[in-house]
Amino acid sequence: MNQKTEVLSLSRPVYIVGGAAIVGPKEKKGPLGDDFDKALEHLGPAKDSWENSEIEMTVEAVTTALNKAKISAEDLDLFCGGDLLNQICAANFTARKLKTPFLGLYNACATMAEGLLVCAAMIGSGLFQRGAVSASSHNATSERQYRFPTELGVQRPMTAQWTVTGAGAMVLDVESKENCPYISGGVIGRVVDLGVKDPNAMGAAMAPAAFDTIQRYFTYNGAYQPDDFDLILTGDLGSHGHSILLELCKREGIATGPQFQDSGMWIYSNKQDVHAGGSGAGCSASVWSTHLLHEIRKGKYKRILLVGTGALLSPITIQQGNSIPSIAHAVVVETGEVKPC
């Protein structure tokens, strides 16, 4: 990475050779429902708890992605994963089952983007041949942990988002398979905090971090501007945060257009009463690992800037009156001929 530019450029491409997502019933009923590999019949716990349900979703997402890539867990050099549970239990327990070298990650809802950067950098540098990345969230576990018990029935403001029940996974490889996109670089995010304290307005807290990363990329990459991308897809700003991002770009002279989209605005329809859209570590992970890969393989998108967004709050910091620091990591995904670095 060039320290002046802060833009990561991989020395060789890292291919996305498999992807899968397991989601909840609400996500299945959304506009992307047919693209997901499997959906839970109900949100209630599998076995004995919601946490175990999320663990099972993550295990199944990773194993399904591996099966699609025709790679066994024994052939993985690295597994990078995270979630929103305390001590990232879903990823930890998945790693226990995989028996693969494991890096546990946490950057809230930006965890999938963080995992893709970490895993791709290690493969691109020649340290490893192939790896898997996952991230997950569960509406019931997240609401209980970060906000209020679901049984309490607290009224949600219109800026609030709906935590996605979903686990997404991708398999990365130094060798290409037919019609596979590749990761060519990205930007490691910086923590940004403009003083937002409302946990029901996380889109507003995360939008400045998304803007900071996007601005840094287009200032320093030396080759591309927004119009050169078919899609600039944030992780889970929702409608509230997305509008703030567009306004920040406008103020600073960054041209925006229809290529600026948000995964949290894709995963649910307006009829599903989710207010500002979807959120959670499983939001971007589920959308990117299935729907986005399908559209790339159809030829709809050739160059994409994925911007995973995360609000780095905890119940304790909110209760103590602290503002919400946020982060955004960018991942460049391309198709076609590999350009020399």
Which segments of the chain does DSSP mark as H helices, in order?
A: 25-28, 50-69, 89-98, 111-124, 139-146, 202-220, 238-251, 263-266, 281-286, 293-297, 315-319
21 has a pLDDT exceeding 50: yes
Average pLDDT over residues 44-67: 89
Whose CA is closest to 93, among 146, 83, 130?
Answer: 83
pLDDT tier for residue 57 given thresholds of 50, 70 and 90: very high
The answer to whether 242 and 262 have CB atoms below 8 angstroms apart is yes
- The CA–CA distances, whole Å, from 135 to 18, 98, 107, 270, 299 equal 15, 15, 10, 25, 26
Tell me: the pLDDT tens digits for 62-80? Answer: 999 999 999 999 999 999 9
Comparing 21 with 200, the larger pLDDT belongs to 21
Tell me: the pLDDT tens digits for 84-123? Answer: 999 999 999 999 999 999 999 999 999 999 999 999 999 9
The position carrying tokens 């967004």 is 309
Q: For residue 52, what pLDDT is reported? A: 92
143 has a pLDDT exceeding 80: no
Q: For residue 274, what pLDDT is reported? A: 82
145 has a pLDDT exceeding 70: no
Tell me: the pLDDT tens digits for 151-202? Answer: 545 556 555 777 899 999 999 999 988 889 999 999 999 999 999 998 888 8
DSSP codes joined into one string, 258-318:
TTEEEHHHHSS-GGG--TT-EESHHHHHHIIIIIIHHHHHTTS-SEEEEEEEEE---HHHH
Mean pLDDT computed over every residue of the chain: 92
275 has a pLDDT exceeding 80: no
pLDDT tier for residue 2 given thresholds of 50, 70 and 90: very low
The radius of gyration of the chain's CA atoms, rounded to the nearest angstrom, is 18
Q: For residue 272, what pLDDT is reported? A: 86
Q: Rounded to whole angstroms, how far apart are CA atoms 161 and 171?
A: 29
Tell me: the pLDDT tens digits for 248-262? Answer: 999 999 999 999 999
Q: What is the pTM of this model?
A: 0.94
Q: For residue 152, what pLDDT is reported? A: 45
Q: For residue 83, what pLDDT is reported? A: 98
3 has a pLDDT exceeding 80: no
Domains of the chain (ranges; CATH) run 8-173 (3.40.47.40), 182-334 (3.40.47.40)
pLDDT tier for residue 42 given thresholds of 50, 70 and 90: confident
Q: For residue 341, what pLDDT is reported? A: 43
1 has a pLDDT exceeding 90: no
